[in-house]
Amino acid sequence: MTRNRILFGIGVLAFISVIVTVRLGGFLVDNEYRQPDRQVAAQEEQGEAELTPRQQGIVDEQAADEAEARARPYEEAEYRAVPFVGSRVTVWVLAQLHLLFAAFVLAVPLFAFIIEFVGYVKKEERYNKLAYEFTKLLSVSFSMTATFGAFLTFGLIILYPKFTNYLMHIFSPTFLPYVLLFFLEALFLYSYYYGWGKFGPKMHLFLGFMLNIVGTAIMFIANAWLTFMMSPGRRDDVDGDGVPDFVSAVSESGALLSLRDAFFNFTWMPINIHRIIANVAFGGSIAAAYAAFRYLQAKTDEEKAHFDWMGYVGNFVAIIAFLPLPFAGYYLAAEIYAFSQTLGIQMMGGTFSWLFVIQAALIGNLFLGANYYLWLGMGRMEGGVHFQKFIKWLLIAIALCFAVWATPRYAISSVSEIAAMGGSSHPQLSYLGQMSAKNTAVNILILSTYMSFLLYRRTGRQSVHPHRQLLTRAQAIVFSSAAALVIFYGVYGYYVDAAIRIRFAIPQVYSVLAALVVITVIDLPLYRNAAQSGETKWGRMPAVSQYALIFIALSFTWLMGLMGYVRSGLRQEWHVYGVILDTSPDAYTPTLGFATQVVSVTVLIFFGLLGVVFWLSSLGGKKDWEPKPVADGRDQLEGGQAT
Amino acid sequence: MKLSVPMPLRLVLLVLGTTAFYMYLGQIVPQKEAHPPPPVLISAEMTTEDLVAVGAELASGKGQCLVGCHTVGQSGPLRYPDLDGIGARAATQIEELSGLEYLAQSLYEPAAFIVPGFADGMQAIDQPPISLSEDEMKAVIAWLQSLGGTPTVTLDTDLGY
């Protein structure tokens, strides 16, 4: 008690000292030295003191500034600058942070709803519990999304006032629906989260469904704004000749011709599809990282088992969404080419071509990380050794594909190396840098990862289907045929013209997609009610597997940052491609080195904030604070005050 | 003695290490800042030779002909036709068009004739986002004529567009 009083006394003294010091400092600063002149003192008393030369100078300066401000006519600012960082980087970082949180907030309800629905159909409470665990992450993330959305909006209005005004001129009719939908999203999100266990299952599922519908609609509206900047027009067969024509949404001077064409522009739907899939992959990986974080903190076997399972489901969601993502990427790239060959060539063969080598490294790491986690996961089950002999072959296939995909067409070389090679491309390796090789590599990567997943799914299980041998062979034939087709088109692409070669990507993609669908359709009945040869031991994963999950989440985040940069940077010196020029000092494309620095800083800020989200979300599972009981049986509040 | 690194520190190291690795990748690839092409000045007294020089500048800058699309003097798998010799070849591409007319058509209406073996894809370069002026188009044509042929275009030439 005495100690507390002493501490309190010291605190009060310190507070008084600070106040006194501040006041004294203020007094000394405000009162200049004055000559001890009796006449001045007398004049001061009469209110007629003469100003010192310095004071006079200050007064004159203020008067001049005021006169200048009054004489200056009002001019609308086109751009404003941010010291040191620059306005472009400021908006870039704010937009990316907003987008990362928004992606997470849109993705989690999607798979939380699906998991809850599975639990409802299967009548298993554990699914319901898992879906709730995912949803816990939403509340704080939603606030972060809104906060960065507000930062971004103010950032645009302050730093790019003229251009923001132009976008408002085009899209103002969409703002009110956007705000109303945002309000509805908050309503559904909080009722979905806080209503867990309070509503009946059907009502709760309805809330989850509506949350997803509204969230997706919000994203579709925002996507129209950003895709308009890249492709301000729509494709339609206007003259009825069967060939799609370009229908510009704005005139050459930028005046709006059709809001419909501005909204449903060339790249709007490809971006919608790409973002839905990428958001789910990203959201799954972040949720898995949260589970890994909690797993590493877990004290009991029960906690470890729960978070191991959560991490597995999160990663499963991420990988399942990740597999079709390259196809969605192709669709987007094809639409960019269809809108403007110049834009497409800038992306793949011009200023940004080296960015795709970094992207290859990122995606290669994602595939490696995901497969590594699956292989480690086989250790959860008894009987896992049986399939482990296949892992080295899968690893070799993945490593080879990774190497092919990351091989650039033109090597980074010194002058002597260029002379030795006879050009900037390597005589043999440059063949691997062409699209034929890269398309083949990514398709085989997808097939290999799917194979890892199939092996994982079979570990510790034995099919009891009467035609199991036939069905398994059928799966093997489908798998091998798809791989053979992919390789055939990859090799054949070197022997045909460019116009034909480009089209080979389509049968490659379709054969892999068809294989994934057919094999899954066969696998479901094949392993329904399968005999368990051993028990799944959740919570027995080594710590390194959890770090792999966090590594996957990091790589996903970095990849999103990088691809966000290329999508936006493609416009180069245009605010709206081909219509509104950027005339600010930032109207140039920075080096890739600089861009990756900005992406890295953004990722670090995001993960710092994510740590706060994880910490706040984990508080929900902790015991409530309770007053400490004292010896005489009364509760004692903190600070020593007894009730 | 076994050195144990606390979990939070491991997480921080993982986050920093991974981010640093990806950032490092960004530093080792070729670095290039892409600035908007500088304005090209074309004055009334420019000769055909002057236009050829300006056209060459436009082809690799504002006109974007040589930025990932066409090449000059390359073989192998090409995205779009190599331009080497186009000055001589132009007159024989379409029977009813002279060399000059063919070159003008290929810039103003690139989809009107597609060289066999290549895909349609080029955009009219007098339209946004490239937006070459009429004089700049003449300069590009003069440069194309100079590739294996004799340039004839002047600023007074009527291109028919």
Enter the tokens of residue B31.
């670095």
Q: Cβ contacts of residue B76 below 8 Å, gap of 6+?
A: none
Partners of residue A353 in chain B, C-beta under 8 Å: 68
Enter the DSSP assignment of A235. E
Partners of residue A502 in chain B, C-beta under 8 Å: 119
Between residues A153 and A640, the one the model is more confident about: A153
Give me the residue from B11, B22, B69 closest to A550, CB to CB.
B11
- In 3-state terms, chain B is what percent helix, strand and coil (to 5)? 45, 0, 55
pLDDT band at A246 (very low <50, low <70, confident <90, very high): confident
> Is residue B58 within 8 Å of residue B132, measured between CB atoms?
yes
User: What's the pLDDT score for residue A23?
Assistant: 82
Partners of residue A354 in chain B, C-beta under 8 Å: 29-30
Whether the per-residue pLDDT at A408 is higher than 50: the answer is yes
pLDDT band at A100 (very low <50, low <70, confident <90, very high): very high
Enter the tokens of residue A59.
């007064």
Whether the per-residue pLDDT at A501 is higher than 90: the answer is no
Whether the per-residue pLDDT at A41 is higher than 60: the answer is no
Q: Cβ contacts of residue A135 below 8 Å, gap of 6+?
A: A108, A109, A112, A192, A193, A196
Partners of residue A498 in chain B, C-beta under 8 Å: 77-79, 117-119
pLDDT band at B2 (very low <50, low <70, confident <90, very high): low
Q: Which of A271-275, A438-442, A483-487, A556-560 has the lowest mean pLDDT?
A: A438-442
Partners of residue A342 in chain B, C-beta under 8 Å: 64, 69, 123, 129-130
A-contacting residues in B 81-110 (Cβ below 8 Å): none
- Give the other-Cβ count within 10 Å of A332's Cβ: 21
Percent of chain A residues topping a pLDDT of 70? 89
- What CA–CA distance (Å, rounded) separates B116 from A463? 55
Q: Are strands A531-532 and A628-629 parallel, antiparallel or unpaired?
A: unpaired
Cβ distance A434 to B69 less than 8 Å, yes or no, reads: no
> Is residue A233 within 8 Å of residue A217, measured between CB atoms?
no
Cβ distance B22 to A361 less than 8 Å, yes or no, reads: yes
Between residues B80 and B154, the one the model is more confident about: B154
CB contact, 8 Å: B123 with chain A? yes
Residue entry with tokens 């971004």: A152
Q: What is the pTM of this model?
A: 0.82
Secondary structure of A98-126 in the HEC alphabet? HHHHHHHHHHHHHHHHHHHHHHHHHCCHH
Mean pLDDT of A44-57: 74
Whether the per-residue pLDDT at A40 is higher than 60: the answer is no
Cβ distance A297 to B7 less than 8 Å, yes or no, reads: yes
Closest residue in A to B120 (Cα) is: A499
Cβ distance A603 to B19 less than 8 Å, yes or no, reads: yes
Cβ distance B34 to A572 less than 8 Å, yes or no, reads: yes
- What CA–CA distance (Å, rounded) separates A317 from A286? 11
User: What's the pLDDT score for residue A286?
Assistant: 94
User: What's the pLDDT score for residue A642?
Assistant: 39
Whether the per-residue pLDDT at A530 is higher than 50: the answer is yes
- What CA–CA distance (Å, rounded) separates A321 from A374? 16
Give me the residue from A346, A573, A596 closest to B68, CB to CB.
A346
Closest residue in B to A603 (Cα) is: B19
Whether the per-residue pLDDT at B80 is higher than 70: the answer is yes
Partners of residue A497 in chain B, C-beta under 8 Å: 117-118
Closest residue in B to A586 (Cα) is: B35
Q: Cβ contacts of residue A8 below 8 Å, gap of 6+?
A: none
pLDDT band at B128 (very low <50, low <70, confident <90, very high): confident
Give me the residue from B18, B32, B79 closest to A591, CB to CB.
B32
CA distance to partner chain B, nearest, from residue A71 (Å):
36
Whether the per-residue pLDDT at A43 is higher than 60: the answer is no
* A219 closest CA partner among A166, A284, A268: A268
Whether the per-residue pLDDT at A621 is higher than 80: the answer is no
Picking from A341, A549, A571 by the largest number of B CB atoms within 10 A of its own CB, the best residue to mutate is A341
CB contact, 8 Å: B128 with chain A? yes
Partners of residue B79 in chain A, C-beta under 8 Å: 345, 349, 498
Q: Which of A20-34, A299-313, A509-523 has the lowest mean pLDDT?
A: A20-34
Mean pLDDT of B149-161: 92
Cβ distance A574 to B7 less than 8 Å, yes or no, reads: no
Burial class (CB in 10 A: 0-12, 13-18, 19+), B14: middle
How many CB pairs below 8 Å do chains A and B form together?
128
Cβ distance B67 to A350 less than 8 Å, yes or no, reads: yes
Mean pLDDT of A290-309: 92
Q: Indicate the residue type of A581.
A: L
> Is residue B52 within 8 Å of residue B143, measured between CB atoms?
yes
A-contacting residues in B 32-51 (Cβ below 8 Å): 32-36
A373-387, A401-415, B42-56 — most confident range: B42-56
A107-111, A179-183, A377-381 — most confident range: A179-183
Whether the per-residue pLDDT at A34 is higher than 60: the answer is no
Cβ distance A588 to B34 less than 8 Å, yes or no, reads: yes
Partners of residue A596 in chain B, C-beta under 8 Å: 22-23, 25-27
User: What's the pLDDT score for residue A639?
Assistant: 45
> Is residue A569 within 8 Å of residue A352, measured between CB atoms?
yes
**A253-285 pLDDT tens trace:** 899 999 999 999 999 999 999 999 999 999 999
Mean pLDDT of A87-111: 95
CB contact, 8 Å: B58 with chain A? no
**A535-555 pLDDT tens trace:** 788 898 999 999 999 999 999
- What CA–CA distance (Å, rounded) separates A317 from B1? 41
Mean pLDDT of A131-142: 91
> Is residue B8 within 8 Å of residue A615, measured between CB atoms?
no
Cβ distance B69 to A341 less than 8 Å, yes or no, reads: yes
> Is residue A178 within 8 Å of residue A218, measured between CB atoms?
yes
Give me the residue from A340, A350, A592 closest to B31, CB to CB.
A592
**A323-361 pLDDT tens trace:** 888 889 888 988 888 888 778 877 876 678 889 889 988
- Integer CA distances (angstroms), A274 to A87, A265, A266, A331, B3, in order: 28, 15, 14, 9, 45
CA distance to partner chain A, nearest, from residue B108 (Å):
15
> Is residue A494 within 8 Å of residue A523, measured between CB atoms?
no
User: What's the pLDDT score for residue A44?
Assistant: 57
Picking from A335, A337, A354 by the largest number of B CB atoms within 10 A of its own CB, the best residue to mutate is A354
CB contact, 8 Å: B74 with chain A? no
Mean pLDDT of B21-27: 95
Q: Indicate the residue type of A397.
A: A
Alpha carbon A496 to chain centroid distance?
39
Closest residue in B to A253 (Cα) is: B128
CB contact, 8 Å: B25 with chain A? yes
Q: Which of A15-29, A189-203, A534-548 has the lowest mean pLDDT?
A: A15-29
Picking from A345, A418, A557 by the largest number of B CB atoms within 10 A of its own CB, the best residue to mutate is A345
Strand partners, A248: A233
pLDDT band at A561 (very low <50, low <70, confident <90, very high): very high
Q: Which of A114-128, A205-219, A310-324, A453-467 has the lowest mean pLDDT?
A: A453-467
Show contacts of A253-256: CB within 8 Å, 24+ apart. A254/A166, A254/A576, A254/A579, A254/A580, A256/A169, A256/A170
> Is residue A603 within 8 Å of residue A558, measured between CB atoms?
yes
pLDDT band at A636 (very low <50, low <70, confident <90, very high): low
pLDDT band at A222 (very low <50, low <70, confident <90, very high): very high
Mean pLDDT of A498-514: 83
> Is residue A640 within 8 Å of residue A4, measured between CB atoms?
yes
Whether the per-residue pLDDT at A383 is higher than 70: the answer is no
Cβ distance A252 to B26 less than 8 Å, yes or no, reads: no
Partners of residue A579 in chain B, C-beta under 8 Å: 128
CA distance to partner chain B, nearest, from residue A455 (Å):
29
User: What's the pLDDT score for residue A210?
Assistant: 97
pLDDT band at A191 (very low <50, low <70, confident <90, very high): very high
Give me the residue from A349, A588, A596 closest to B35, CB to CB.
A588
Alpha carbon A245 to chain centroid distance?
34
Whether the per-residue pLDDT at A98 is higher than 60: the answer is yes
Picking from B13, B15, B125, B127 by the largest number of A CB atoms within 10 A of its own CB, the best residue to mutate is B15
Closest residue in A to B30 (Cα) is: A412
> Is residue A241 within 8 Å of residue A280, measured between CB atoms?
no
Residues in chain B: 161
CA distance to partner chain B, nearest, from residue A143 (Å):
24
Closest residue in A to B26 (Cα) is: A593
Cβ distance B28 to A497 less than 8 Å, yes or no, reads: no
Cβ distance A501 to B25 less than 8 Å, yes or no, reads: no
User: What's the pLDDT score for residue A273?
Assistant: 96
Burial class (CB in 10 A: 0-12, 13-18, 19+), A251: exposed
Enter the DSSP assignment of A78. S
- What CA–CA distance (Å, rounded) separates A110 from A212? 6
- Integer CA distances (angstroms), A10 to A1, A179, A431, A538, in order: 14, 51, 76, 54
Q: Which of A218-227, A280-289, A490-499, B8-17 has the lowest mean pLDDT?
A: A490-499
Whether the per-residue pLDDT at A3 is higher than 70: the answer is no
Secondary structure of A31-75 in the HEC alphabet? CCCCCCCHHHHHHHHHCCCCCCHHHHHHHHHHHHHHHHHHHCCCC
Partners of residue A607 in chain B, C-beta under 8 Å: 15
CB contact, 8 Å: B1 with chain A? no
Mean pLDDT of A569-574: 90
CB contact, 8 Å: B10 with chain A? yes
**Complex ipTM more than 0.90, yes or no:** no
Burial of A526-564, coded b for 16+ CB within 10 Å and e otherwise, reads bbeebeeeeebebbebeeebbbbbbbbbbbbbbbbbbbb
Mean pLDDT of chain A: 87
